[in-house]
Amino acid sequence: MSTPALDPTLAASADARAVRTPAAEFWRKFKRQHVALVAGGFVIALVLLAVFAPWLVPFDAEQFFDYDALNAPPSAKHWFGVDSLGRDIFSRILMGTRISLAAGFVSVAVGAVIGTLFGLLAGYYEGWWDRIVMRLSDVLFAFPGILLAIGIVAILGNGMVNVIVAVAVFSVPAFARLVRGNVLSLKHQTYIEAVRSIGASDWVIMLRHLLPGTISSVVVYLTMRIGTSIITAASLSFLGLGAQPPTPEWGAMLNEARADMLNAPHVALFPSLAIFVTVLAFNLLGDGLRDALDPKLDS
Amino acid sequence: MVHYLIRRLLGLLPTLLIVAVLVFLFVHLLPGDPARLAAGVDAGPETVELVRRDLGLDRPLPEQFVRFFGHALQGDFGKSIRSQRPVATEIAERFGPTFWLTLAAMAWSVVLGMLLGIVSAVWRNRWPDRVGMTLAVSGISFPSFALGMVLMQLFSVQLGWLPTVGADSWRHYILPSLTLGAGVAAVMARFTRSSFIDVLKEDYVRTARAKGLGEPVVVVKHGLRNALIPVVTMMGLQFGFLLGGSIVVEVVFNWPGMGRLLVDAVDMRDYPVIQALVLLFSLEFIVINLVVDLLYAVINPTIRFK
């Protein structure tokens, strides 16, 4: 009484042909990018470090002072040495991971969500929506990124939260343009016409059918952007506009270390390395994602 | 070409106007009363009122804007709160060092970046490519302020070859321009490489090879010009990045330029200086992008006739 559709052997052979879903295809290409895999693993490790940092640090990052070891170089007790106030640099770097990752993730996520939404609207409706969104992004692009951030911080006041807001604002136009461009080329494809002809609403078309088509380039850009945003946030703290001492933010730590460069260059070395390695990981991961997702590189 | 230039210039006007409005509104977005800011913390209420009338802050906003805009067109941005000197004079002194620093950084980084990109593309996936791209990805990942501190520590403090701070001679320009240009060189290298790889796959490159031209001729004569088109656009964007980057680098090297002036002004809430600098920076950026678009039209005739 078995119908062919329920035949177990048939189902098994369909499995063996391995349906090539976009996700499977992506993974097949991505796992060949060894550098990006390592970078991705490193990013995951960093996130875990950031989450568990308060339980992992050997000393309190702000309240512990070893007055007998001011500016001491790395040792078994203080892995990355001690700064001019007697604080343990390793603990401060570890706690700083939380701040830098949060700054990078939050600012880019906010910028990406708002920018993607604007880009969808501009690309889908064109006309007025398009003109307003593009004009606004022209204006935001008329300010070199960090200058815009400095302007926003000047208005909102110093502090890490305001820095995150500032970095998010100047991420918006880049995502808006990227998504708009993709939508403009996608929306004349037959499958969109088909969805429209069965009466789907504009929102369903945008969110269920256009968004998935553009999401891969958004993810690639987002990953790269996190690296840039971490640097921008650290730069603003370095300039004294972001996190304030004694907060263990990497850029702020470098700024504090400047005064003692002659006696204790290691105080500046470790925050520099922390920023470099973190941003490098995001950039390498972004490169790998791009190579795995870009159909142009298939050949 | 003239037609294209005029159209591009007209297209800039709305952007310029919105930028000017934003810069003007900036003062009113600041927390606190601008008149009180200008009068200083110790001023009594009468003085604050006097300053308010003197600066025209009691007038309706549109009127204030027309006044601000009219003065700005004549280069008058009022007086610096900190130094009490005209903002225009303060900025005039600082313009040169920033301009030359940016130019020096741009010059070496574009040349080196493009060279690295071409070498990487021609020897794709072999050791020159791997070395070049490792350098490039490191370049975009290393923050400029950290690089500046490392270079200063190494070449000025340890080796004593170069001066640490100031802008008195050409030797003062070496470290800051290296620091500022490193990121741009890296971006240019990555971008030139991918642009060149695309071009080297084109039919006309195969044709050039097929008719027996040597590889150097193929790369330089047939590849370079076509690969340059997107690279020139990138150059314009990078110049904006340099303007922004100079702010950080100037602080590291204590450079007497506009970037450090801006950071000091933000610190002191010296808003006339902030306004003028933000306007000037964005004006510079807009002009550079216009020049790049024009260059683009010169290289690529299809743009002009669109």
Q: Across the interface, which of A139, A268, A283 has its CB nearest the CB of B141? A: A283
Residue A234, CA distances (Å) to A47, A100, A238, B183, B252 in order:
18, 7, 6, 16, 14
Q: Across the interface, which of A138, A155, A280 has its CB nearest the CB of B15? A: A138
Residue of B nearest to A265 (CA): B153
Which of A141, A190, A184, A149 shows the shortest CA–CA distance to A168? A149
> In 10 A of CB A85, how many CB atoms?
15
Write out chain B in H/E/C secondary structure: CHHHHHHHHHHHHHHHHHHHHHHHHHHHHCCCCHHHHHHCCCCCHHHHHHHHHHCCCCCCHHHHHHHHHHHHHCCCCCECCCCCCEHHHHHHHHHHHHHHHHHHHHHHHHHHHHHHHHHHHHCCCCHHHHHHHHHHHHHHHCCHHHHHHHHHHHHHHHCCCCCCCCCCCHHHHHHHHHHHHHHHHHHHHHHHHHHHHHHHCCHHHHHHHHCCCCHHHHHHHHHHHHHHHHHHHHHHHHHHHHHHHHHHHHHHCCCCCHHHHHHHHHHHCCHHHHHHHHHHHHHHHHHHHHHHHHHHHHHCHHHHCC
Residue A198 is classified by DSSP as T
Residue-by-residue DSSP string for A72-125: PPP-SSSTT-B-TTS-BHHHHHHHHHHHHHHHHHHHHHHHHHHHHHHHHHHHHH
Partner-chain contact B146 A268, CB within 8 Å: yes
Could you tell me which residues are beta bridge partners of residue B86?
Answer: B79
Closest CA–CA distance from residue A104 to any residue of chain B (Å): 14
Residue A6 has what pLDDT? 47
Residue A106 has what pLDDT? 93
Q: Rounded distance, CA B40 to CA B51, Å?
A: 10
Which of A229, A190, A213 shows the shortest CA–CA distance to A116? A213
* Percent of chain B with pLDDT strictly greater than 70: 97
Cβ-contact A142, B282 below 8 angstroms: yes
Q: Give me the mean pLDDT over the B236-259 stretch.
A: 84
Q: Which residues of A209-229 are buried (b: 16+ CB within 10 A; e: fewer)?
A: bbbebbbbbbbbbbbbbbbbb
Closest CA–CA distance from residue B298 to any residue of chain A (Å): 23
Residue B303 has what pLDDT? 60
Partner-chain contact B149 A272, CB within 8 Å: yes
B146 at A interface, C-beta within 8 A = yes
With a cut of 80, say whether residue A12 has pLDDT above it: no
Closest CA–CA distance from residue A213 to any residue of chain B (Å): 23
- List CB contacts (< 8 A) between B244 and chain A: 144-147
Which span out of A204-218, A223-237, B83-97 was modeled with the highest average pLDDT? Answer: A223-237
Residue of A nearest to B17 (CA): A139
A87 Cβ neighbours under 8 A, 6+ residues apart: A59, A61, A62, A64, A65, A66, A246
Residue A4 has what pLDDT? 46
Region of B84 on the Ramachandran plot (φ > 0 left; ψ -120 to 50 alpha; else beta) = left
The 10s digit of each residue's pLDDT in A102-122 is: 989 999 999 999 999 999 999
Residue B302 has what pLDDT? 66
Partner-chain contact B137 A268, CB within 8 Å: no
Cβ-contact B191, B234 below 8 angstroms: yes
The structure's pTM equals 0.83
Partner-chain contact A265 B153, CB within 8 Å: yes
For B36, the token pair is 């009180």
Residue A15 has what pLDDT? 52
Residue A299, CA distances (Å) to A231, A296, B117, B185, B223 in order:
34, 7, 21, 28, 20
Closest CA–CA distance from residue B107 to any residue of chain A (Å): 19
B144 at A interface, C-beta within 8 A = yes
Q: Rounded distance, CA B73 to CA A280, Å?
A: 44
Residue A113 has what pLDDT? 94
Residue of A nearest to B251 (CA): A239
Q: How confident is the model at residue A144 (pLDDT cuts 50, 70, 90)?
A: confident
* Percent of chain A with pLDDT strictly greater than 70: 91
Q: Rounded distance, CA A259 to CA A187, Å?
A: 57
Q: Give me the mean pLDDT over the A68-92 stretch.
A: 79
Q: Which H or E run contains A37? A: helix A34-56
With a cut of 60, say whether residue A296 has pLDDT above it: no
Q: Which amino acid is at B46?
A: E
Residue A136 is classified by DSSP as H
Q: How confident is the model at residue A17 (pLDDT cuts 50, 70, 90)?
A: low
For B227, the token pair is 């690969």
Q: Rounded distance, CA A167 to CA A153, Å?
A: 10
With a cut of 50, say whether residue A299 has pLDDT above it: no
Q: Across the interface, which of B15, B241, B266 has its CB nearest the CB of A144? A: B241
* Percent of chain B with pLDDT strictly greater than 90: 3
The 10s digit of each residue's pLDDT in B3-39 is: 878 887 887 888 888 888 888 887 777 776 777 777 7
Residue A298 has what pLDDT? 44
Q: Rounded distance, CA A120 to CA A129, Å?
A: 10
Q: Give me the mean pLDDT over the B160-166 stretch.
A: 76
With a cut of 60, say whether residue B112 has pLDDT above it: yes
Q: Give me the mean pLDDT over the B109-118 stretch.
A: 90
Partner-chain contact B262 A254, CB within 8 Å: no
The 10s digit of each residue's pLDDT in A255-274 is: 888 877 777 788 888 889 99
Partner-chain contact B143 A272, CB within 8 Å: yes
Q: Which amino acid is at B62?
A: P
> In 10 A of CB B25, how many CB atoms?
14
Q: Across the interface, which of A155, A257, A280 has its CB nearest the CB of B30? A: A155
A34 Cβ neighbours under 8 A, 6+ residues apart: none
Q: Give me the mean pLDDT over the A199-204 stretch.
A: 86
Test mutation, B102, B140, B141, chain A, max A CBs within 10 A: B141
Cβ-contact A229, A147 below 8 angstroms: no
Query: For chain B, what is the mean pLDDT?
Result: 82
Q: Rounded distance, CA B135 to CA B141, Å?
A: 10
Residue A215 has what pLDDT? 85
Partner-chain contact A139 B29, CB within 8 Å: no
Chain A residues with CB under 8 Å of a chain B CB are 135, 138-139, 142-147, 150-151, 153-155, 157, 227, 231, 234-235, 238-241, 251, 254, 257-258, 261-262, 265, 268, 271-272, 275-276, 279-280, 283-284, 287
Q: Across the interface, which of A143, A239, A272 has its CB nearest the CB of B146? A: A272
Which of A187, A173, A189, A183 shows the shortest CA–CA distance to A221? A173
With a cut of 90, say whether residue B164 has pLDDT above it: no
Place of tokens 């993730």: A105
Q: Rounded distance, CA A270 to CA A264, Å?
A: 11
A121 Cβ neighbours under 8 A, 6+ residues apart: A129, A133, A206
Closest CA–CA distance from residue A211 to any residue of chain B (Å): 27
Query: For chain A, what is the mean pLDDT?
Result: 82
Q: Which residue has the higher pLDDT, B246 or B35?
A: B246
How many A×B Cβ pairs under 8 Å? 120
Which of A95, A209, A147 shows the shortest CA–CA distance to B19? A147
Residue of A nearest to B21 (CA): A139
Test mutation, B27, B149, B255, chain A, max A CBs within 10 A: B149
- List CB contacts (< 8 A) between B10 and chain A: none
Test mutation, A38, A131, A150, chain B, max B CBs within 10 A: A150
**How big is chain A, counted in residues?**
299
Residue A1 has what pLDDT? 41
Q: Give start and end residues of each alpha helix (H) in A187-265.
A: 190-197, 202-204, 211-238, 250-257
B145 at A interface, C-beta within 8 A = yes
> In 10 A of CB A294, how many CB atoms?
13
Instruction: Measure the CA dihedral A122/A124/A125/A129, to 10°.
Output: -10
B48 at A interface, C-beta within 8 A = no
The 10s digit of each residue's pLDDT in A158-189 is: 888 888 998 898 889 889 988 988 888 888 88
Q: Give me the mean pLDDT over the B82-97 stretch.
A: 85
